[in-house]
Amino acid sequence: MAKKEFIGICSEYDRLRMARVQLTKGGIKLLGVETLDMPYPIAKINEGTSDPLNLTDDIDEFFGLDVVEKDTDDSFPELTGSGKKSKESDISGESYLEDNFDMTRIDEDSDTVTDNEKILADYFQKLGRKKLHFGLHIPFGKTTFQFVRNVDPDKMRKKEQIDFFNEKLRPIHNEDPEPDHYSWAKAAENTCLIAYNRNETSLINLIEVAETYYKGKLIINERLPDESIWAGLVRVNYNLTPDDITGIIAIGEKSSRIMFMKGREIFNILPIINEGENSDDILNTIFSKILFEIDKGELPKLNRILIARSAKLSEKVKPYFEKQFDEIEVDYLSLHPQYVSYADEILSSPDYLQPYLSAIGAAWAASGANEKEFSELALLPDYVKEKQRTLKIEWHGIVILIFIALTPLYINNLYLSREAELAQLEQQVRLIENQIEELRPIANMTEDLVADYQVIQSENDRLLELASYSQKWSEVFSLMNDGISQIPQIWLTSLRSDDENLNLTGVSLTRQQIPVLARLFTDANIQQVSETELREQPVYTFAMQANNYRQDIEEFLIEMPQVEFDFEQGAMIELDFSLAPEAIEAPVLVPAINDNQFSGNSPSEVLTPAEGEDTEIANQPVNEATIANQNDAETTAENNDVQIIETPGQEGFTGTTRYGLRGPEDELLIGSYTIVLHSIPDSTRADAEYQMLRQEGYKATLWQAEIEEGQFNWRIGVGHFQTISDALNAITELPEPYRSNNFIIRIRE
């Protein structure tokens, strides 16, 4: 299958420049360029259409330049001295014969005159393709350009964009523009560039009429102004830095154009110059225009000048500007060999290709390669796009008709299946509604129980809060009363709590009694002692602060059972009445312990108690409240490594029990109960007590527990017991003073 070709077409009065390209891996391949002379003008030349504000006349008047008068008889090329050929012969007869003489050209007065469209269709027919893709240009000077600064149309809604462009274009063209008459792109320095063209549709009309003679399809892919095509060629073929300023010069027959690019964006487009190659002063005029932009400060610098079109002045333009700008690169706009390959070596000449640059750029843009560089200012009318889109889907008509015919059958089948599914769902809904009605009394009862539970729970929380404060201050005042009762002739005048500290002030008859009062607390500081007289007797007033006084009292801690119940989903509670009340207790699930987690051979290898463990110090008498406070209702560890400790008489039990008061301590039983005999902060003393109990034959346990935030005590316990009652029975076997001073705690992981 032959590769797709793309044809670029640009017009010059009664002449068409053609360029054919193909896509390659790295860019395009230029197959050839041709020139077609038409018997009739493509469109009437009307210079100065891109200068609606008459800025050119003002600039020319500023420089004192004479404007060449336009020839008003261009529509009659046959008349001597008024047509295009007459003017060319006035400049150089020899040049005219070399460039325009064509022995095969047919004059209009001939009896065998052929239309432009027929000649173009015959050319397309020779290419031997059923479908051709085109890129068209808009001659420079036919498009108006307007720069609007500090505006970003991308951030506007569609209606806001239309209103914005109407507001900018209406004052210039005295009418509301159609959406396909203008295009816009982002320019340098947060600037919006608007391109407007309304009437230049001569090439589109020529292609559409030629299609009636052509035995195939002619598809217009792209239509761009010459200014946009030149900018695209510069972006693709030149390495541009963001600060580079590139000037582009184009000299036509009767008009010229100057534009500037900053980096890869169009920076400025000067108004059309109503002088062309027929003027002897055109080069001086262009040079003065550039100097004027530099003098105004609009052009901070100039890095290079590229000549995009120079017609008959090709040999003069480059030397002239190289002389005027001796420190600036001046060259013809050329194609980089990295992106363009040639089917013929003659095509690689910049001088030869210069008249075809617009055609090559239009074909390049139509191919879709480097789309971002070319298609920013596309001006292809919407009606052309719609027409070509309709042609693309025309061959699908039969398939669409088949789908339309099958649609009722599909819809009927879908309706029947959905109807059966709906009937099944309605039956399921009725069954569920019946079940809901049966369970509604239970649901109402559950809601009432949940409400009652929440009330009771809130009362319990309030009671625990009050009891905690009550117990705390009862302990504080009990400690104070018991201590002060043993110290005569001392009185307290104030007591104030400050977070974890207690501030005391009082009066003492002797100075020696004040330190005795301070020793009631573990950590107390005497802040002030002063001597004064009270009732003609010397006394001592003092101020004292007990730091972290809670460590010296037994805080009221009771663990309330936490009920895990989902009020929305509910929970099923299984009741088993097969066992008698005196049945043995269920096995205790405890996490397995690694050998390196605990060792009784070294005081440094201890087990850290679980978070929230009882922090009471040792040497407190055991009582039922203390035992209740240590009891943990959870008997199942929430981890994967668990070990079931079975009791005698339970199925699967083998060997002797590991519980008891005495015996070797070979393994720590997590979840069992132990009797704590010591709770001291000194690690050396704790290790000595631990070793002594081991030598006496007890199952001794040593670990470190956090009593308060940042304060740790070493606890030494003896024995492992499965239940609290077993531990209470074992206390009677302990000698004094262990029998009176101990408390029971559960070993946690």
DSSP letters spanning 635-675: -S-SSS-EEEEPPTTSTT--S--S-BSBS---S--TT-EEE
User: Residue 475: which H helix or E strand, with range?
Assistant: helix 397-485
Q: What is the C-alpha to C-alpha distance for residues 164 and 167, in angstroms, rounded to an integer?
A: 5
Residues 6+ apart with CB under 8 A from 624: none
Per-residue pLDDT of 45-74, as tens digits, reads: 443 344 444 444 444 444 444 433 333 333
Under 8 Å between Cβ of 724 and 628: no
User: Rounded to an integer, what distance in angstroms lies between the CA atom of residue 641 and that of residue 591?
Assistant: 6
Q: Which of 22-36, 104-118, 445-459, 516-530 is predicted with the least confidence, judged by mean pLDDT?
A: 104-118
Stretch 399-418: mean pLDDT: 91
CA separation for the pair 172, 115 (Å, rounded)? 37
Averaged pLDDT for residues 349-354: 82
> Of 39-48, 111-120, 633-642, which gets the smallest average pLDDT?
633-642
Q: How confident is the model at residue 571 (pLDDT cuts 50, 70, 90)?
A: very low
Task: Please name which of 599, 589, 586, 671 lies closest in space to residue 636, comparing C-alpha atoms.
Answer: 589
The CA distance from 415 to 407, in Å, is: 12
614-632 average pLDDT score: 37
Tell me the C-alpha distance between 474 and 215, whole Å: 111
Structure pTM?
Answer: 0.48
> Cα angle vertex 337, ends 331, 341, to 5°?
125
pLDDT recorded at residue 472? 76
Measured CA angle at 528 (ends 526, 533), to 5 deg: 125
Q: In the structure, what pLDDT confidence band is assigned to residue 623 with cuts at 50, 70 and 90? A: very low
Residue range 250-294, pLDDT digits in tens: 998 889 999 999 989 988 899 999 988 888 889 999 999 999 988
CA dihedral angle for residue 456, residue 462, residue 464, residue 468, rounded to 10 degrees? -170
Q: What is the distance between the alpha carbons of residues 668 and 596, in angstroms, rounded to a whole number?
A: 11
Q: Is the pLDDT of residue 538 over 50?
A: yes
Question: Strand pairing partners for 269?
Answer: 259
Candidates 66, 7, 60; CA nearest to 31 is: 7
SS3 state of residue 48: coil
Question: How many CB atoms are closer than 10 A to CB 569?
Answer: 6
Question: Per this entry, what is the length of the chain?
Answer: 749
Measured distance CA(222)–CA(228) in Å, rounded = 12
Which of 324-328, 430-434, 480-484, 515-519 shows the highest mean pLDDT? 430-434
Q: Does residue 493 surpass a pLDDT of 60?
A: yes
